[in-house]
Chain A
């Protein structure tokens, strides 16, 4: 069994080096071979058992698990769970010791592992030089870079303080930059450009979130075009993000670095690797809700929640028409309305989308090329639908009225096809119709509302009443392409961006 031992002397006090190293995810900030790293399942990066999943600059992905961590002895050990290398039974130990004459740190990095004999020399060299020695040099460089501007190093003890410092290390202690999509001006998708932006440190009541998944919503298109003035160019769009708390500002309670969180709300700014935002807007993610599920359902699912439970509390036996039934909110509405016992009629623009809508719980599907009101009346025995959920916009309200049952309810919650044309209110009397025009901010705008709505959503996800349906995944830098597909009606389900 080969053993690799490497050691060095770092020109910094042991507490300073340890503050960085004890964060099991910090290697992305100082190790030159690590391109990116996340702690799985939202575990704190200093909790024994935490698994880091990381990508090397060469592209290989590895998973390693923290086996022990001691703030008393400045030691930690970990093992490899998955690696595309023949390193078997790999267990590594890191130990720091103070050099008392000179305030430096002696760092030993040791590992034992098995590998095929013919590859032993290669693996030993890889671990010794590519991992350990390169890591020593990277740490020394990160510390040199960080000298000076670090005003008050966080105390050594306590939850995720190591994470706070390592973030600083990664951002060059005071740099605070990340890559983001910036809308240069109001306009077509081309205005979205990949840009380096500043991430301010969190102020009072704020946190910095490192995104792991970002939800794309039609409201992002409205922000980009200027239809909604929620974004002032140049600005970062995006209202739905999921990630891990990197650092917290003064006065933030109930959240710690390393916590998994999500949000679906203004202000915009989600299309970025990191952002600083008010803590009160965040939802803590339960362990059983993974990042992609959260990014696919937070905004769309909370929208479905208030549409089905609060705008029109849908009753079993009612008939609901869902326009854009294969869209991001549409699929969740269909699933959830079906689970509530309603008969769901989905309206879609293509046969491909019809197949999706049927699979998402629609009892019937009508194509937009058909006579939609006529088909709905036919399917309901001439009575019409009890509720129509419509985010299509333009001239759809008059058509909705034509398919509505007496005393029915039109819920108009979007205008993907264009600005709503004026409706003669007097015409509502044709069906004694009710018309609602809910605004997300009024139903999921306060912390209490978000708590209620997200809990209902998570509960529905757990019980399988709704299931995330991800139609497309894009790297964050290709956000413009994601917008094009959304506007071209080429997308189905949720679209997710990955930083």
Chain B
């Protein structure tokens, strides 16, 4: 099992950041790599079990399933159903925690998955930095403006 963990501090209150990221269909709004997204079957984006079907700017298509969403804990978890990444048993959690000392929040995004031997470093870098950190960077920008 490969584990990836990325965290950051966002200069905006947790509830404001959460309002952005709790939308399971909202990746195109706050990540730099997602071109378009829809929820399969027209379900609400906060129904547990719904599947988001989204296309990256490079053309790749992914399907991810919402496993948990908590407005109380500011966190959600999802799994990958289909992707070109070459990962299996992929489970990710995105969580926000208020920083009471200042109008900030702590954001952490973690994932665990299996992959072909030898690809661990490459995928850790891609997911941890390319996806999570990349998304955090644009999220920080958007949360500041929001």
Q: Which A residues lie at the B interface, using CB under 8 A?
A: 5-9, 97-102, 104, 106, 108, 133, 136
Residues in A with CB closer than 8 Å to B99 are: 7-9, 106
* B6 and A101 within 8 A (CB): yes
Q: Does B55 contact A (CB under 8 A)?
A: no
Check if B98 is an interface residue, CB within 8 A of chain A. yes
Which residues of B lie under 8 Å from residue A133 when comparing CB positions? 101
Residue B31 interfacial (CB < 8 Å): no
Interface digits, B1-42 against A, CB 8 Å rule (1 contact, 0 not)? 000011111000000000000000000000000000000000
On whether A100 and B98 interact (CB within 8 A), knowing A9-B106, A106-B106, the answer reads: no
CA–CA, A90 and B32, complex, Å: 45
In the complex, what distance in Å separates the CA atom of A98 from the CA atom of B128? 14
Chain A residues positioned under 8 Å from B7 (CB to CB)? 97-101, 106
Measured between beta carbons, the chain B residues less than 8 angstroms from A8 are 99-102
**Chain B residues touching A, range:** 10 to 19
Which chain A residues lie closer than 8 Å to B98 at the CB level?
7
Give, as a whole number of angstroms, the nearest-CB distance from B105 to chain A: 9
A194 to B67, CA, bound (A): 66
**Which residue in chain A gives the minimum CB-CB distance to B133?**
A101
A5 lies within 8 A of B100 (CB):
yes
Whether B97 is near chain A, meaning CB under 8 Å from some CB there, is yes
Minimum CB–CB distance from A6 to chain B (whole Å) comes to 5
Q: How far is the CB of A213 from chain B (nearest CB, A)?
A: 39
Assembled-state Cα–Cα distance A98/B4 (Å): 13
Minimum CB–CB distance for A108 against chain B, Å = 7
B106 contacts A97, CB within 8 Å?
yes
- Is B106 a contact partner of A101 (Cβ separation < 8 A)? no
Whose C-beta in chain A lies nearest to the C-beta of B106? A106
The yes or no answer to B104 lying at the interface (CB within 8 A) is yes
CA distance A152 to B136 in the complex (A): 34
Residue of A nearest to B109 (CB): A100
Question: Is B101 touching A6 in the complex (CB atoms < 8 A)?
Answer: yes
B residues 88-119 touching A (CB-CB < 8 Å): 97-102, 104, 106, 108
CA distance A97 to B128 in the complex (A): 16
Closest 7 CB pairs of A and B: A8-B101, A106-B106, A101-B8, A6-B100, A100-B7, A7-B100, A7-B99
Residue A99 contacts which of B8, B100, B101 (CB distance < 8 angstroms)?
B8
Where chain B touches its partner, the secondary structure class is: strand
A-B contact pairs, 24 of them (CB 8 A): A5-B100, A6-B101, A7-B97, A7-B98, A7-B99, A7-B100, A7-B106, A9-B101, A9-B104, A9-B106, A97-B7, A98-B5, A99-B8, A100-B5, A100-B6, A100-B8, A100-B128, A101-B7, A101-B8, A102-B9, A106-B97, A106-B99, A108-B97, A133-B101
Contacts of B9 in A (CB 8 A): 9, 99, 102, 104, 106
Interface residue ranges, B against A (CB under 8 Å): 5-9, 97-102, 104, 106, 108, 128, 133, 136
Minimum C-beta distance from B129 to chain A (A): 9
Instruction: Tell me if B106 and A102 are in contact (CB < 8 A).
Output: no
Extra contacts, 15 of them, besides A100-B128, A101-B136 (Cβ < 8 A), are A7-B98, A7-B99, A7-B100, A7-B106, A8-B99, A97-B106, A97-B108, A98-B7, A99-B7, A99-B8, A99-B9, A100-B8, A102-B8, A106-B97, A136-B101
CA of A6 to CA of B6, assembled, Å? 22
Please indicate the chain A residues that have their CB under 8 angstroms from the CB of B106 in the complex. Answer: 7, 9, 97, 99, 106
Q: Which residues of A contact B133 (CB under 8 A)?
A: 100-101
CB closest chain-B residue, reference A10: B101
Task: Give the CA-CA distance A99 to B97 in the complex, in Å.
Answer: 12
Q: How far, in angstroms, from A98 to B101 measured CA to CA in the complex?
A: 17
Report the bound CA distance from A101 to B10 in whole Å.
11
- Indicate if the CB atoms of B136 and A7 lie closer than 8 Å: no
Q: Name, among A97, A99, A101, the residue most crowded by chain B CB atoms within 10 Å (CB to CB).
A: A101
Residue of B nearest to A133 (CB): B101
Q: A106's closest neighbor in chain B, by CB?
A: B106
- For B6, the chain A residues whose CB sits under 8 A away are 100-101
Complex alpha-carbon distance, A133 and B8, angstroms? 21
| Cα distance A133–B6 in the bound complex, in angstroms | 26
Which residue of B has the minimal Cβ distance to A128? B100
Chain A contacts for B128, CB-based, 8 A: 100
A contact residues around B102 at 8 Å (CB): 8-9
Residue of A nearest to B101 (CB): A8
Which residues of the other chain, B, contact A98 by a CB distance below 8 angstroms? 5, 7
Nearest A residue to B132 via CB reads: A100
- Complex CA distance for A104 and B102, rounded to whole angstroms: 15
Measured CB to CB, the nearest residue on chain A to B98 is A7
CA distance A386 to B91 in the complex (A): 86
Cβ of B5: which chain A residues have Cβ within 8 Å of it? 98, 100
A109 to chain B, nearest CB (A): 9
Complex Cα distance A136/B99, Å? 12
Closest Cβ–Cβ distance, residue B66 to chain A (whole Å)? 24
CB neighbours of A108 from chain B (8 A): 97
CB distance from A129 to the nearest CB of B (A): 11
Taking the closest CB of chain A, its distance from the CB of B87, in whole angstroms, is 20
Residues on the B chain within 8 Å of A101, using CB: 6-8, 133, 136
Q: Could you say which residues of chain A place their CB within 8 Å of the CB of B100? A: 5-8
Could you say which residues of chain A place their CB within 8 Å of the CB of B108?
97
In the complex, chain B residues whose CB is within 8 Å of the CB of A104: 9
Q: How far is the CB of B103 from chain A (nearest CB, A)?
A: 12
Q: Chain A residues near B136: list those with CB within 8 A.
A: 101
Measured CB to CB, the closest approach of chain B to A133, in angstroms, equals 7
Q: Complex: how many Å from CA A88 to CA B128? A: 43
Chain A residues, CB < 8 A from B104: 9
A7 with B8: CB separation less than 8 A: no
How far is B5's CA from A133's CA once the two chains are assembled, in angstroms? 27
Tell me, in angstroms, the Cα distance from A395 to B101 when the chains sit together. Answer: 74
Which among A8, A102, A133 has the greatest number of chain B C-beta atoms within 10 A? A8
